[in-house]
Amino acid sequence: MRIIGIFPNSSKQNVDVVLNNIIETLKDEEIKILIPEKSAQELGYNEYSASREEIIRQIDLAITIGGDGTLLSTARKIAEAGIPICGINMGRLGFLAEVEVSELSTKLAKILRGDYEVEERLMLDAVIKRDNTTKEISAALNDVVITKGGFSRMLRLKLFIDGIFTANYQADGLIIATSTGSTGYSLSAGGPIINPNLKVVLITPICPHTLNARSLIISSEEEVRINTVETQTDIVLTIDGQIVHELLPGDEVIIKRTPYAAKFIKFEDKSYYETLRTKLWRGE
């Protein structure tokens, strides 16, 4: 491994300190460093600046510095190229990030030695079908969410799984999440926690107007299709809570597994259940 891409969130406090520590370590090991142009300019590291296309074409591994949002955004950009990613947490929770700042030197040394495993995470493709046209949108690592806009009424959505009509929902929206995304928006909406090693898809209604609506777990090989009611207005589709698309009345959204997976760097001394305890359950 000779080239590493670093993706820092320049808005995070002290990100420049962490970035400098990483750069100095990698320089000592004669590792080539690439940083996205905008971030490199903002943080004063123009000598490592490169376009996104150059970075994806050249790097062997990616490191993000920020919160889960930084990791999600970067993973969507590099996953198709099969590049493994490691997140350094400088956010509030950082559930997806593997490394805390206090562990930086130890974990960076392990990365340079190749002392880690690569865990594949399911991602979802989404397509908006409108009249006789289709619009492909960015793949999702966490979730695809269909929800009402700021002032719309409750949505009416029809759910089909592998072409079979499954449910009518009257709700504020519907979350289609990966097992990675089960600890995100879906969890807040009452959905279950799913180990990310399980390749399943989770469907969770948002504030359903019924007493018997529950989350539904299906195979990642099954295709999800959601129809909006033709009279419904002010609907939006979001990808990982970061990319927004406006839906029109009568639109159909088709969601299925991507042909590739996001690759996360994992260390043997880190357990998923330990992360649950320390970051979500706040146990002792």
Distance of CA 228 to the CA centre of its chain: 25
Per the annotation, the verdict on 269 as an active-site residue is no
Strand 235-239 to 32-36 pairing: unpaired
Interior angle at CA 37, CA 35 and CA 43, nearest 5? 70
pLDDT in tens, the chain (284 residues): 689 999 999 999 899 999 999 999 999 999 999 999 999 999 999 999 999 999 999 999 999 999 999 999 999 999 999 999 999 999 777 889 999 999 999 999 999 999 999 999 999 999 999 988 999 888 999 999 999 877 667 899 999 999 999 999 999 999 999 999 999 999 999 999 999 999 999 999 999 988 778 999 999 999 999 998 876 678 999 999 999 999 988 899 999 999 999 999 999 888 889 888 888 775 44
Q: And the tokens for 71?
A: 């990791």
| Candidate list 28, 68, 143, 234, residue with the active-site label | 68
Domains of the chain: 3-121+261-281 (3.40.50.10330), 124-257 (2.60.200.30)
Using CA atoms, how far apart are residues 264 and 75, in angstroms rounded to an integer? Answer: 9
Q: And the tokens for 9?
A: 């969130």
DSSP state of 93: S
Interior angle at CA 116, CA 270 and CA 79, nearest 5? 100
Using CA atoms, how far apart are residues 73 and 33, in angstroms rounded to an integer? Answer: 19
Q: And the tokens for 199?
A: 């390749």
Residues 6+ apart with CB under 8 A from 113: none
Is the pTM above the cut of 0.85? yes
